Amino acid sequence: MPVDIRPPSLTVIGDTVAAINDTLALWAEPADDSVALARYLWNCETRFLCDTTISGVRRFTWGVDDTGVHRIVVQGLSTEGLVSEPETVTVTVHRYAPTIAIAPRDTVAVVCDTIAIRAFAYDTNGTVDYHWRVDTGAYFTSGHESTLSLWWSESDTGRHVVRAYALDDDSLTSAEDSAVISIRLSRPSVKLEADIAAWVKDTVVIRAFGTGDGGSITRYLWTYVKSFPHDTVTHAESLALSFEPADAGRWRVFARSKDENGVVSEPDSAVVHVRLGRPEVTIVGDTVVWPGDSMVVQAVSVDENGTVEEYLWLVGEGKPVDTSFSDTLKLSWGLADTGLIPISVRVLDDDGLSSLPDMLWVRVRAGRPRTVAPPDTLVAMADTVEVAVSAVDTNGSIVKYYWGLGNNGWVDSTTDPIYRLWHRGRDPERLVVGAKDDQGLVGLDTMLVYFTNPSREIVILHPTDTNYVRYHDSTFQTGTVPFNVGCMDITGLCGIERHTLYLGTDPTTLS
């Protein structure tokens, strides 16, 4: 009986679908179980693949470049060497890339807020990792975590773009999605109290009122400025300042508030007018006094922001006078104080501030008696003259009169203003008069007394009458006769002249 040898026939899997990076197993088997196949012949038209397998299973792995439709032809080879009719399987390879969407799409956040951005990725045949980028920065991955938390600082104020894509386990990437985040700077605000005035040595408290939209106020930053800044940081809403005398003037205080997010407000300012508050003192009453007088000087003082505690007096050019801090100064004057004397006073208040000095002038007059002697006079030499003086003392009484002659000093003193003077051989006589008051001061004056002489008689002193010689012409002789001529008044001889007579013809002739 003849043997019936026929080519084998195959039964194969139907058309199918695969994804990139999937491994697809295709199988073929004899349509007749009684036929034994020695080998299977596989051919992929699009991949130029020719291959043989012993078994009827062939596994294909599809890459990215395999995306599309592939026709795979398979034939069976029997042990007798017969080849079956080709069978074709169509495999459609899909590129199943993941997809991603960001939510929220656009949002607004404030500085120091933390905002969570969520990405929703879908992959039909695997898992994905999430990759992010903020603005122009580099991409970074959060792994399988689909939520990104971002904290925004003050420097981030403005518009930002957050981008994301998904990378699946087939190394396929999704298209990029993005969201816009607008970061708004919500600064706190601060307001200071109105401008104030203060005195030195006082303590003033300045209060600030702060509010914050992005968070509560945690501290206040203070700066106070005159000629250079002083910085201080305090958690309190008030600042206490004290001022010394050197701080008098105009100060400006600045305050800023800082919230819990570290955001600082714009500054507000207030002016502190620091007044020195110097006390004032006044004394009045320029006056004239005499030695022995006493006087009281009263000071009037005022201090707008305290009390006057001390009065410092200065008399003349000497050292300060300690008056036990009294506003009254008692003074007495002596002869040594004669002249123009300044008296000044200044005061110290309870803040240690000194006033400007005030001053008055005291003129201390010596107060000497005014003594007036009579005018110069003329008396007879034999007379005694009685001199009466007048003396006036404006601030006391005359107690004694002194009398002096020439330059011989005082020769007498009386309690009466009368002195008797006679001729003592000097013509004229200079009389010095002094009047002494009850303070020991003496006033002086002078006068001249002229003495007149009586008529004078001229007599021949020598020769006397008994010595006269008569000469007759008959007995005439030559020679000389000496004689003295004197002048006498009531006081006696006042002068002598000596003369000589010549007897004969030469030089004179006596008859």
The token pair at 176 is: 């990029």
- Residues of the chain with pLDDT > 90, as a percent, come to 30
The yes/no answer on whether domain 10-94 falls in CATH 3.40.50.720 is: no
Indicate if the pLDDT at residue 111 is higher than 90. no
Shared fold status for 10-94 and 189-275: yes
> What is the arithmetic mean of pLDDT over 125-149?
93
Confidence of residue 456 (pLDDT cuts 50, 70, 90): low
Q: Is 189 within 8 Å of 210 (Cβ atoms)?
A: yes
CA quadruple 470, 476, 481, 486: dihedral sign = positive
Quote the CA–CA distance of 119 and 150 in Å, as a whole number. 14
Average pLDDT over residues 352-381: 90
Q: Give the number of other Cβ atoms within 10 Å of residue 251's Cβ.
A: 20
State pLDDT tens for residues 423-437: 887 778 899 999 998
Please check the confidence at residue 6 and state whether its pLDDT lies above 50. Answer: yes
CA distance 278 to 351: 9
Averaged over 284-311, what is the pLDDT? Answer: 89
The answer to whether the beta carbons of residues 92 and 66 sit under 8 Å apart is no
When pLDDT is cut at 50, 70 and 90, the band that residue 467 belongs to is very low
* In the predicted structure, residue 218 carries a pLDDT above the cut 50: yes
Is the distance from CB of 411 to CB of 404 less than 8 angstroms?
Answer: yes
Q: Does domain 370-452 have CATH number 3.10.129.10?
A: no
Main-chain dihedrals φ then ψ at residue 123, nearest 5 degrees: -135, 125
pLDDT value at position 454?
A: 62
Is pTM beyond 0.85 here? no
Q: What is the mean pLDDT of the chain?
A: 83
Residue 499 pLDDT more than 70? no
Task: Note whether 447 and 431 are within 8 A (CB).
Answer: yes
DSSP string covering 2-15: --------EEE---
Rg (CA), the chain: 73
Give the separation between CA 143 and CA 425, rounded to whole angstroms.
149
**DSSP for 229-289, written as a single string:** EEEEEESSSEEEEE--GGG-EEEEEEEEEEETTS-BPPPEEEEEEEE----EEE----EEE
CATH class given for the domain over 189-275: mainly beta
Q: What is the spatial order of strands in the sheet that 37-44 belongs to?
A: 16-19, 87-94, 68-78, 37-44, 49-53
- Which tokens sit at 414? 């009386």
CA torsion through residues 379, 381, 384, 387, sign: positive
Query: Closest by alpha carbon to 67, among 90, 89, 96?
Result: 96
Sign, CA torsion 11/14/20/23: negative
State the pLDDT at residue 459: 60
pLDDT at 3: 47
CATH class for domain 280-364? mainly beta
Report in angstroms the alpha-carbon separations of 197 from 67, 246, 252, 274: 86, 16, 12, 6
Q: Which fold has domain 99-184?
A: Immunoglobulin-like (2.60.40)
Which tens digit of pLDDT belongs to each residue from 255-264?
999 888 788 8
- Given a cut of 80, whether residue 141 has pLDDT beyond it is yes
Contact 131, 166 (CB under 8 A): yes
Domain boundaries along the sequence of the chain: 10-94, 99-184, 189-275, 280-364, 370-452, 457-503
On the question of a cis peptide bond just before residue 229, with omega within 30 degrees of 0, the verdict is: no
What residue has token string 């004397």? 341
pLDDT category of residue 464 using cuts at 50, 70 and 90: low
pLDDT band per the 50, 70, 90 thresholds, residue 503: low
CA distance 206 to 264: 19
